[in-house]
Structure 1
Amino acid sequence: MTDALPDELADSSVAGLTDEFPDQLTEDFDRAVDAYLRDLLAAEAKPWTDGLAVRLTDRAGDRVGELLADLRDSLTGGKRLRPAFCHWGFVGVDGTPPGDTAVRAAAALELLHTFALVHDDVMDGSSSRRGAPALHATLLARHTDRGWRGDARRFGEGLAVLVGDLAFTLAHRIAAGLPDSAARTWHQMCTELVVGQHLDMLGSATGERDADYATSVATLKSGRYTVVRPLQLGACLAGGSGSLVATYAEYGGPLGVAFQLRDDLLGAFGDSAATGKPVGEDLREGRPTLLLAVAAERAGPADRRLLDRVGDPDLDEGEVAALTGVLRRTGADVEVEQQVKLAVDRALLALERAPVHPRAVPALRALAEEAAWRQR
């Protein structure tokens, strides 16, 4: 498999991106990333379906095709924030539009994100993602509908893990071709993502309600992975200076935390039709969030007894509503909203002082608004 762009894009400087409105630049870049992913998966399927990689029966080849189709379906939808930050991190160096290497890096980010989401849904037992059944739930239903043998739940989770593993493998194959500075950033990001997930799961298991702990998880799982490292990846690909790479951390660090805090607020108070996830899932999982840390610190005896139910996977809608009532009574929701605003203010102040090319500044401001104030 070659990492070259699709033929129709290879000579377009991805970019043929000139001085159009930032939204158009982002849309063009997204289309290039989607085209690259589409061609990547098609090329990956060909050796298996044509019997070139390993000689397979038609039935075995079809089942490999299902694996790749499941990955392709898992890549659809989403906010594409990480590619956007990579794109504008590149433009912020000297105003030059990103080229083929940036498209490949952004595609790797999307594959890595798909790996993380698929595995996260298995770890958390989440039943839905982006308004549709989570992959492991889809695979469970496939097992049941086809009357296959064995435990349908274990089958669904096991195959979902393999789809995530394939996404991770393809992401690293792409990343292996990145320049050294970008590759170092990539590997740091992957390690931070795993450590953040590790701390998140431990925090759920131990009932962690410390605000600093919650912020550490948000920084690793979201601050670095969603904003800082994609920005720095773009900067490294464009030959950005060390000072700009550091400045991107000053902008992206607080913004990434704001992104996670918004996610926590939406998880407790959002509209599941908009978010694509059941409201109250974080409460059933007992995730170590700032919302719960603030509520635990401020709650009186009666509300503390209610908070003791956090982490029970069998909470019904009434019990979830009672817990969100505690979050409101203690003012945890207001406090976290204030922290979102403060984090965005810090990010925008860092951007104002940063040696970022003027062409990227409006888009980075808009991305800050989107990340912090989104409704899904």
Structure 2
Amino acid sequence: MRGFAISLYPECTRRTANAGHRPTANGRQKGSGALSLNSAATVATATPSALELAGAITNQLREYLDERRRDAAYIGAEYAALTAALEDFVLRGGKRLRPAFAYWGWRAVADPADPNDPNDPTDHTDPADPIDPNDPTHSADPTDPTDPTDPTDPPDPTDPNNPADPHNPKVLRLFAALEMLHACALVHDDVIDDSATRRGRPTVHEQFAGVHRRSGWRGSGARFGMSAAILLGDLALVWADDIVATAELPVDARRRVNRVWADIRTEVLGGQYLDIVAEASGAGSIGSAMAVNTYKTASYTVSRPLQLGVAAAADRPDVLAAFHEFGTDLGVAFQLRDDVLGVYGDPAVTGKPSGDDLRSGKRTVLLAEAIERAEHTDRAAAQLLHASIGTELSDEQVRQLCDVIAAVGALAAVENRIDTLTRRAVDVLHAAPIAEQAKIGLTELARLAANRSA
């Protein structure tokens, strides 16, 4: 959040600097046209802040997971170990960005109209407006203290769309489902990639493989760990669905929410499948990597969570369309930042080894850009990239590849993409027909997503 440390390129800073491609302290290259969302003109305080919102969402997750773990205790101690592991995985880290985007999507249309906005057609609080006696939203008596159009009336504390309560437990519980879905995606992604670490600790399948070994059980510990992790990820998805199914929503809102929730789940699985197809088929184009980014990350990280928040509050197709555009651009920028961190990130911050994507051979836009540029400008660099990516690499080999990627211009190109996409997203946001506080909150989230270090 605001306290994120920016400390990139631990393996590459020295050598890249010598090559004339010096990353700055926040991980960007000089001259890359770094996005400036931190100017005085754009910095404003949202209520709640990103940090406060993350804490409120974590509290909802803690309460829910505790309830579900205790409810499932009758199944036995063995299963309790699985539910406890899920609880630990969800609560021990994470930026809570997806629920935060959903929250601001909700606030975007749930906040009351600005009585000072003369262009707001939904503003019925202007005392100069004649009262329509046939309009049920107006009181015939302008002095009636129950008049719902009186801007001085306190909000109804029982209203589930009450924006006066920034920690509204009903909406935060609904949006916490996104974090459970995210847990499912992360655990299964680690199984697919056979990753060893996540958030600075062994992945779930590695943890359960260790349980198998320490217990002296029969069979393969690795296979047991994979099986347990698949089940844990499935449990996270089931509990996410349960949260959505039991959310207290009006009938129309439930219908809208269910539609968006179905799209989120379908698209994240589709993006994951595109990812494994690209890896298996050897598809290394920038276009194929961008398609994976759109569905595997952008959809379920930004655009669909925003739309989920809108759907919970109101029927606003105009805002859904604006958030699709904003969310796709920002979500792809978010994944491109992840691509950079997967090669240049500081392990102490990312919780993963430096150069992890180089060793795994992950088909990212950064690596596709590097190979494409090298093939046109530097045959030796292209040969090195083709021969090295996806193999076991020493720290020195990782540093060498970092230098090559920067030298052919791929790092600067991806940074420029991040800047362009984020600027375009913020322009769409500022033009969107939504509440001003939501614009402030979403601008803050955009800054975090584009400039994060983990």
* TM-score tier (shorter): 0.7 to 0.9
The 3 A distance-change label for structure 1 pair 23 and 331 is farther
Matched, 1:269 2:344: yes
Conservation of the 8 A alpha-carbon contact between 1:29 and 1:103: no
Conservation of the 8 A alpha-carbon contact between 1:93 and 1:240: no
Conservation of the 8 A alpha-carbon contact between 1:114 and 1:164: yes
Q: Per-residue displacement from partner, 1:70-109 (whole Å, max 9, x unpaired)?
A: 0001102101000110111111114225644422321110
Q: Name the CA distance, whole Å, in 2 between partners of 1:156 and 1:86.
A: 33
- Aligned equivalent of 1:145, options 202, 207, 214: 214
Q: How far does residue 310 in structure 1 lie from its aligned partner after superposition?
A: 4.7
Q: Name the CA distance, whole Å, in 2 between partners of 1:203 and 1:303.
A: 22
- Aligned equivalent of 1:347, options 400, 416, 425: 425
- Give the SS at the match of 2:437: coil
Q: Name the CA distance, whole Å, in 1 between partners of 2:305 and 2:388.
A: 33
Q: Name the CA distance, whole Å, in 2 between partners of 1:239 and 1:261.
A: 32
| Structure with the higher fraction of residues in helix conformation | 1
Conservation of the 8 A alpha-carbon contact between 2:294 and 2:328: yes
> Mean Cα displacement is larger for which, 350-359 or 134-143?
134-143
Conservation of the 8 A alpha-carbon contact between 1:26 and 1:87: no
Matched, 1:33 2:57: yes
Q: Name the CA distance, whole Å, in 2 between partners of 1:197 and 1:277.
A: 20
Number of aligned residue pairs:
348
Q: Name the CA distance, whole Å, in 2 between partners of 1:23 and 1:329.
A: 43
The 3 A distance-change label for structure 1 pair 21 and 365 is closer
Q: How far does residue 43 in structure 1 lie from its aligned partner after superposition?
A: 2.8
Q: Which residue of 2 aligns with 1:114?
A: 183
- Give the SS at the match of 1:126: coil
Q: Cα RMSD over matched residues?
A: 1.9
- Aligned equivalent of 1:221, options 274, 278, 296: 296
Q: Name the CA distance, whole Å, in 1 between partners of 2:64 and 2:109.
A: 28
Matched, 1:75 2:90: yes
Q: Which residue of 2 aligns with 1:335?
A: 413
Q: Name the CA distance, whole Å, in 1 between partners of 2:410 and 2:192.
A: 27
The 3 A distance-change label for structure 1 pair 47 and 261 is closer
Conservation of the 8 A alpha-carbon contact between 2:343 and 2:355: yes
Q: Which residue of 2 aligns with 1:323?
A: 401
Q: Name the CA distance, whole Å, in 1 between partners of 2:51 and 2:340.
A: 28
Q: Which residue of 2 aligns with 1:46?
A: 70
Matched, 1:244 2:319: yes
- TM-score (ref. length: structure 2): 0.73
Conservation of the 8 A alpha-carbon contact between 2:345 and 2:355: no
Structure 1 unaligned spans of 5+: 1-19
Conservation of the 8 A alpha-carbon contact between 1:285 and 1:311: yes
The 3 A distance-change label for structure 1 pair 205 and 284 is farther
Q: Which amino acid aligns with 1:331?
A: G
Structure with larger RCO (C-alpha < 8 A, sep 6+): 2
Q: Which amino acid aligns with 2:400?
A: A
Q: Which amino acid aligns with 1:183?
A: N
Matched, 1:256 2:331: yes
The 3 A distance-change label for structure 1 pair 183 and 149 is same
Q: Name the CA distance, whole Å, in 2 between partners of 1:45 and 1:273.
A: 31
Conservation of the 8 A alpha-carbon contact between 2:405 and 2:411: yes
Conservation of the 8 A alpha-carbon contact between 1:128 and 1:276: yes
**Percent of aligned pairs sharing the same letter:** 41
Conservation of the 8 A alpha-carbon contact between 2:45 and 2:440: no
Conservation of the 8 A alpha-carbon contact between 1:91 and 1:357: yes
- TM-score (ref. length: structure 1): 0.88
The 3 A distance-change label for structure 1 pair 345 and 145 is same
Q: Which residue of 1 aligns with 2:369?
A: 294
Q: How far does residue 302 in structure 1 lie from its aligned partner after superposition?
A: 1.1
Q: Which residue of 2 aligns with 1:63?
A: 78
Q: Name the CA distance, whole Å, in 2 between partners of 1:288 and 1:193.
A: 17
Q: Which residue of 1 aligns with 2:106?
A: 90
Q: How far does residue 240 in structure 1 lie from its aligned partner after superposition?
A: 4.3
Point out the structure with max Rg over C-alpha.
2
Structure 2 unaligned spans of 5+: 1-43, 112-162, 248-253
Q: Per-residue displacement from partner, 1:279-324 (whole Å, max 9, x unpaired)?
A: 2221222222111121111112211211223553423323322322
Q: How far does residue 263 in structure 1 lie from its aligned partner after superposition?
A: 0.3
